[in-house]
């Protein structure tokens, strides 16, 4: 028995997310489903792939991590070539390696990093469409940075949690949060030991409202402590969110 670790890049626009969903819930395929079907054909055995995180419908990944166990002796290099030759074009395998049988992509992860990108200018981009959130109105990035510092550390993030999540515990630790601007692009990057359902998109939507001066200075901390989703900003669109890495 071998344990194989994959690093995966995917475009989430035509996907219902990472996890397999019943067809009555979504007619779009999941990334997990396409991987398992393709691996099954290549290895001639039933494969169950475990992902490090469950990205939502429309969310992309630069470096999702997953693992599966197999009896096949196929070399990892040949497996990578076979996967990239047979997977749908919106999924690519950037790395394949054999790891210890004890490795679990989800439970061994120490943190995950997500990046949200805003295109902040008067006109949209023909090339970045579907990968950024285009906002025409100006944003006060300095104020967004200052307010975001209140999210650092271990907190109950119920105010930024969407209904429908499976976790019973709303406490998470945000290790770092950076907001950078490069010309017309604003990047919000968050590293945490875990994320609640829609947590990054709800934090982003709230910070956008702060950047528009729709919330007063100091309001983000009050929203966090209130543990009330209704007080926070709207959920930012999924198209601009990327899982950029998983750290072990």
The pLDDT value recorded for residue 86 is 98
The pLDDT value recorded for residue 241 is 98
Distance between CA atoms of residues 171 and 194, nearest Å: 9
- The residue annotated as part of the active site, out of 11, 56, 184, 193, is 56
Q: CA distances (Å), 198 to each of 158, 162, 204, 205, in order?
A: 11, 6, 10, 10
The pLDDT value recorded for residue 27 is 78
Distance between CA atoms of residues 93 and 165, nearest Å: 28
Instruction: Identify the structural domains of the chain with CATH numbers, from first to last.
Output: 2-99 (3.30.70.580), 111-247 (3.30.70.660)
Instruction: Name 150's bridge partners.
Output: none
Q: Is 56 a catalytic residue?
A: yes
Residue ranges of the chain whose pLDDT lies below 70: 23-26, 164-166
182: CB partners within 8 A, 6+ apart:
none
The beta strands (E) that lie in the chain are given as: 2-10, 50-51, 60-70, 91-99, 111-120, 133-135, 153-156, 171-182, 185-192, 241-247
The pLDDT value recorded for residue 24 is 57
Distance between CA atoms of residues 82 and 49, nearest Å: 17
217, burial (CB in 10 Å: exposed 0-12, middle 13-18, buried 19+): exposed
């Amino acid at each position: 028995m071998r344990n194989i670790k994959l690093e995966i890049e995917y475009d989430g626009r035509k996907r219902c997310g990472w996890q397999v969903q019943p067809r009555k819930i979504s007619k779009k395929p999941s990334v997990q489903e396409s991987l398992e079907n393709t691996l099954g054909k290549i290895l001639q055995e039933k494969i169950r792939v475990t992902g490090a995180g469950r990205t939502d419908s429309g969310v992309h990944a630069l470096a999702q991590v997953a693992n599966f166990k197999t009896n096949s002796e196929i070399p990892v290099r040949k497996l990578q070539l076979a996967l990239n030759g047979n997977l749908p074009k919106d999924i690519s395998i950037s790395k394949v390696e054999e790891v210890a049988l004890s490795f679990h992509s989800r439970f061994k992860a120490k943190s995950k990093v997500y990046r949200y990108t805003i295109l902040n200018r008067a006109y949209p981009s023909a090339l970045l469409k579907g990968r950024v959130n285009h906002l025409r109105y100006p944003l006060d990035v300095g104020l967004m940075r200052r307010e975001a510092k209140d999210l650092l550390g271990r907190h109950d993030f119920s105010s930024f949690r969407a209904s429908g999540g499976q976790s019973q515990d709303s406490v998470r630790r945000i290790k770092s949060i950076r907001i950078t601007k490069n010309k017309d692009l604003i990047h919000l990057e968050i590293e945490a030991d875990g994320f609640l359902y829609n947590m990054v998109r709800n934090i982003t939507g709230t910070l956008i409202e702060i950047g528009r001066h729709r919330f007063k200075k100091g309001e983000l901390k009050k929203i966090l402590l209130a543990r009330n989703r209704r007080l926070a900003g709207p959920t930012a669109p999924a198209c601009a969110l990327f899982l950029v890495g998983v750290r072990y």
